């Protein structure tokens, strides 16, 4: 049976969050209508092992493994490329996004009654982060919105719903997940924003340092600004993203049972 929705969750060293997040996602979606792809981005802890332990109990679960850490955008792209459904939801692997908001994103797209809506972005209206991190995010969103004109208040929210084919047609680069609204608008799509919950991180730690985020953001913003102003005419044919092969590999789970792990190459 074809699934209607693919849930893609990139994870790097999130062993303490894997089980909780997977079970929450399964609890809010009708059985048989979705698949759940956990993408291990070169973790050095027990993230992969924890994901494999869940496989016998969660039939919707697929586990993808990146041999080395390539970053959140690459992990998301690998998951979307492997996804089998036409629509994809992404969540951060730190449990700060609430899976209960997934149906809200789906309802927002349906109620729009517009086939041009190809991306629905969560807006964290009550951030549960430190004051300093909220200030950084606010400044980044303001600058990005001013330069790119995407009119989306919170592009950094990991909770997004989008059309798989449109995602695979946009340019790929590190940190691209933070600029999806501008990239989708460049493809002639319509983008909408929906208020969502935000939860405090209780396990693990952030993967981004302030200076790293600032340096990458400046460079990427300049690149996306350049791309946005060199978009093809909306009725011109688009070049699809380069194909990427995914091969199956067998890996032994901690329970000594042999389970299938999809290795992204």
What confidence score (pLDDT) does residue 247 get?
38
Environment class of 165 (CB within 10 Å of its CB; exposed 0-12, middle 13-18, buried 19+) = middle
Among 200, 161, 207, 205, which residue's Cα sits nearest to residue 184? 161
Residues of the chain with pLDDT under 50: 211, 215, 236-259
The per-residue b/e assignment along 196-230, b for 16 or more CB within 10 angstroms, e otherwise, is bbbeeeeebeebeeeeebeeebeebbeebbebbee
pTM, 2 dp: 0.78
Instruction: Round to whole Å and give the CA distance between 29 and 164.
Output: 19
Number of domains in the chain: 1
Tokens (6 digits) for 113: 């009654």
Q: Which domain holds residue 117?
A: 5-264
> Token digits for 88?
């994809």
Residue in this structure with the two tokens 């291990």, named with its chain if needed: 40
**Could you give the CA distance from residue 180 to residue 191 in angstroms, rounded to a whole number?**
9
pLDDT value at position 36?
98
The mean pLDDT of the chain is 82
> Which residues on neighbouring strands pair with residue 246, listed in sequence order?
264
What is the CATH number for 122?
Answer: 3.90.550.10
pLDDT at 32: 92
Give the integer Cα–Cα distance in Å for 175 and 177: 5
């Amino acid at each position: 049976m074809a699934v209607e929705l693919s849930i893609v969750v990139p994870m790097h060293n999130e062993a303490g969050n894997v089980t909780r997040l997977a079970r929450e996602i399964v609890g809010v979606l009708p059985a048989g209508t979705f698949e759940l792809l956990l993408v291990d981005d070169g973790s050095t802890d027990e993230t992969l092992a924890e994901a494999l332990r869940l496989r016998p109990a969660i039939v919707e679960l697929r586990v993808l493994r990146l041999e080395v850490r390539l970053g959140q955008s690459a992990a998301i792209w690998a998951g979307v490329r492997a996804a089998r459904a036409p629509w994809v939801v992404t969540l951060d692997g730190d449990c700060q996004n609430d899976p209960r908001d997934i149906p809200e994103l789906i309802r927002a797209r349906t109620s729009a009654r517009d086939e041009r809506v190809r991306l629905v972005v969560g807006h964290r209206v009550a951030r549960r982060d430190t004051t300093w991190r909220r200030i950084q995010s606010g400044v980044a969103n303001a600058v990005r919105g001013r330069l790119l004109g995407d009119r989306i208040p919170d592009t950094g929210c990991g909770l997004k719903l989008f059309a798989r084919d449109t995602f695979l047609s946009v340019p790929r680069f590190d940190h691209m997940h933070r600029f999806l609204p501008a990239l989708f608008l460049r493809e002639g799509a319509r983008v909408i924003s929906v208020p969502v919950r935000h939860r405090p991180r209780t396990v693990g730690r952030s993967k981004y340092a302030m200076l790293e985020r600032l340096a990458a953001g400046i460079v990427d913003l300049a690149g996306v600004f350049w791309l946005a102003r060199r978009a093809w005419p909306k009725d011109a044919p688009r070049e699809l993203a380069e194909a990427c092969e995914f091969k199956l590999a067998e890996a032994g789970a901690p329970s000594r049972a042999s389970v299938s792990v999809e290795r992204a190459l």
